[in-house]
Amino acid sequence: GKKYRPVDVNIEFVEARIKEGFTTSDLREVVDRKCAQWLGKDQEIYLRPSTLFNRTKFAQYQGESGSSGDWRDDVICKSTNS
């Protein structure tokens, strides 16, 4: 997999979402959900800060139904900073 460095351009996306009132738990939930949905598929190339934390896309991803909890059973990427 790819590793994204904590450079300004990547951090700015995350900081912007936090300034909008999202929590680190919200951010991790979106990452976990998208990893479960996209790893091993064509969409895997979109597992990057500019896609996951883009203002419009993040709001869409965060609003996706995760109430069933099913996606959590298939989470492949886990945050190393739990």
Per-residue confidence (pLDDT) for residue 71, from 0 to 100: 46
Tokens (6 digits) for 20: 């909008």
Q: How far apart are CA 74 and CA 70, in angstroms?
A: 7
CA distances from 34 to 8, 61, 79 (A): 23, 8, 13
- Written as one letter, the residue type at 7 is V
The structure's pTM equals 0.75
Q: Average pLDDT per run of 10 along the chain, which is 82 residues long?
A: 82 95 94 93 94 94 65 48 42
**Diameter over CA atoms, the chain:** 35
Per-residue confidence (pLDDT) for residue 42, from 0 to 100: 95
Per-residue confidence (pLDDT) for residue 1, from 0 to 100: 61
Per-residue confidence (pLDDT) for residue 2, from 0 to 100: 75
